[in-house]
């Protein structure tokens, strides 16, 4: 049987497995605590507000549409007939499992694996102009870029490094600026402006969570979010503008 017939089915099966593990984590069926409870337990100044994580619903919806489109003759791209998406699903549900059972260090390594996998997918789509491919993988990578940075801060917190409140604030602001630079660089390299949607949303989540207790972090986050969003708009225009 040809790979073109095998991969669509395998992709869907592993994606469904990712959805199932994600559902169990949200309802507290893994490790006895929901993923939100664990997020609150390891909350730090870089962690966005809980409602920000609703972006996963958008990511999963877009991926569902993409996977269903595999059966259409109009969408025939080699990236869907490689192990990359399958690996991204494995990294996805593996991260949830390790996170739920509070193996924070291992979960960080798995998250880095997911980041690398999505990065490879987006690099292979550099010259692709089909929205159906660019949008879901761009938003997914953008969110995982931010999530990886958040995982690093969570890991440092989990090993109980004693840092003063003022130092935490300075470090968090430095992380926000660094994250902005990373997202801008990855957008440029992958030629995918849709990373900016997830990144701007994450920075808004930090703003909404920190506006009352750490306004300096909040205003920096929303400023960086606006910058990233505008860079995304500019790149979208350059990428999709009609050729005269």
| Token output for 174 | 């430095």
Residue 17, pLDDT score: 95
**Is pLDDT of 15 > 70?**
yes
Residue 8, pLDDT score: 82
Residue 208, pLDDT score: 94
**3-state DSSP assignment of residue 88:** helix
**pTM for the full predicted model:** 0.91
Q: Report pLDDT digits (tens) over 201-220.
A: 999 999 999 999 899 999 99
Q: Is the dihedral of CA 225, 229, 230, 232 positive or negative?
A: positive
Q: Average pLDDT of the chain?
A: 87
Helices (H) and strands (E) in the chain, counts: 9, 0
Q: What is the DSSP string of 178-197?
A: HHHHHHHHHHHHHT-TTHHH
Q: Report pLDDT digits (tens) over 147-183.
A: 999 888 888 877 777 677 788 889 889 999 999 999 9
């Amino acid at each position: 049987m040809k790979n073109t017939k095998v991969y669509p089915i395998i992709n869907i099966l592993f994606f469904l497995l990712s959805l199932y593990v994600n559902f169990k984590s949200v309802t507290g069926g893994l490790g006895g605590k929901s993923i939100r409870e664990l997020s609150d337990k390891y909350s730090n100044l870089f962690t966005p507000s809980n409602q920000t994580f609703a972006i996963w619903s958008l990511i999963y919806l877009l991926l569902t549409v993409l996977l269903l489109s595999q059966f259409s003759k109009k969408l025939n791209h080699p990236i869907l007939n490689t192990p990359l998406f399958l690996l991204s699903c494995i990294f996805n549900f593996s991260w949830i499992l390790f996170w739920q059972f509070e193996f924070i260090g291992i979960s960080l390594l798995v998250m880095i694996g997911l980041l690398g996998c999505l990065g490879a997918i987006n690099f292979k789509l550099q010259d692709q102009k089909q929205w159906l491919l660019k949008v879901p993988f761009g938003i997914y990578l953008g969110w995982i870029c931010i999530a990886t940075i958040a995982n690093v801060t969570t890991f440092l917190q989990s090993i109980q490094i004693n840092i003063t409140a003022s130092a935490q604030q300075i470090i968090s602001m430095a992380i926000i600026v660094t994250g902005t630079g990373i997202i801008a660089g990855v957008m440029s390299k992958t030629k995918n402006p849709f990373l900016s949607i997830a990144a701007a949303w994450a920075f808004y989540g930090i703003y909404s969570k920190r506006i009352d207790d750490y306004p300096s972090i909040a205003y920096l986050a929303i400023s960086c979010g606006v910058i990233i969003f505008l860079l995304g708009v500019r790149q979208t225009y350059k990428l999709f503008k009609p050729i005269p």
